[in-house]
Amino acid sequence: MRVKPKKRLGQNFLADGNIRHKIIAACEFGPDDSVLEIGAGQGEMTGLIAGQVKQVYALELDYGLAGLLKNNLAEIKNLEIINQDVLKFDFKSFLKNIKGKITVFGNIPYYITTPIIERLLENREKIKVAYLTVQKEFAQRVVAGPGSKQFGSLSCFLQYFTQAQIKFIISKGSFWPRPKVDSCLLELKMREAPAVKVKDEDYFFKIIRAGFNQRRKTLRNSLKEVINRETLDLFFQKYNIKENIRPEQLSLEQFAGLANMV
Ligand code: SAM
């Protein structure tokens, strides 16, 4: 029996069996892995993942769906269903009891993509990799490099902490009900150490945010409020940068170089 999907909970279920298998093949699960699944839904992916790994913990906020999962997947012994809101979930206590690092998987509700990723980054020491199905445009912003229109503070922030890669695009027609936009499978491998060395992380991100705040301005104008003129002059000379450069043309290394000069 089909459940009535709740739009407010982002319930677009992965209906295409071929895509489910393609996702499993792309996720590089291992037999010793523990996996935390976010938004298990009706178990579209849950059983397939459980067949590949040691243990699955499946979070689902919807009380009815969590009950359905417990009934339908009762045979699967390496599965625990947790009826909780991922944004209220106590990651710290949960991860303390996990041996080694966990793998995160989620065909996640779009309306909370950013807060979910923030939670994952806060707990990155205990997370090996996250495989997330997200809106295509969001993923394209995450993996964008300098010089591209999509490159922005989201790209810098995530590329600083993770190795981000789009595995493949998933057409909106693979979901039921069909969403308005395409998705893709995004891989976020947590880095052992950040991509670039910075003396003061808060300041580094402050510069990046200020730099991208008004994208039509030149970098020099955008950064006027956060860096003094002399330091900016020195930076432009040291890196041989044109005066009219725009923020999206600067690399992560250059943002780090700038932050470290202050
Ligand atoms: N895993 C299923 C699939 O692949 O088809 C369902 C994916 S559906 C896009 C997202 C799921 O996340 C829904 O089942 C929804 O009820 C659940 N969900 C929504 N908000 C949540 C939250 N805050 N915490 C945990 N689960 C949530």
Q: Is the CB of 184 under 6 A from ligand 1?
A: no
Residue having the nearest C-alpha atom to atom 23 of ligand 1: 85
Q: Is the CB of 87 under 6 A from ligand 1?
A: yes
User: Does residue 2 surpass a pLDDT of 90?
Assistant: no
CA–CA gap between residue 53 and residue 62 (Å, rounded): 25
Residue having the nearest C-alpha atom to atom 14 of ligand 1: 41
Contacts of 176 (CB under 8 A, 6+ apart): 5, 12, 13, 15
Q: Is the CB of 13 under 6 A from ligand 1?
A: yes
Which pTM value belongs to this model?
Answer: 0.96
Residue 217 corresponds to which amino acid? Answer: K
Contact 128, 190 (CB under 8 A): yes
Q: What is the pLDDT of residues 138-173, one digit of tens each?
A: 999 999 999 999 999 999 999 999 999 999 999 999
**Residue-level pLDDT at 139:** 98
Q: Of residues 61 and 214, which shows the higher confidence score?
A: 61
Q: Which helix (H) or strand (E) holds 176?
A: strand 175-176
Contacts of 229 (CB under 8 A, 6+ apart): none
CA–CA gap between residue 220 and residue 163 (Å, rounded): 29
Mean pLDDT on 170-186: 97
**Residue-level pLDDT at 243:** 86
Alpha carbon separation from 169 to 143, 216, 235 (Å, rounded): 13, 30, 39
Domains along the sequence of the chain with CATH: 7-190 (3.40.50.150), 201-261 (1.10.8.100)
User: Does residue 65 surpass a pLDDT of 90?
Assistant: yes
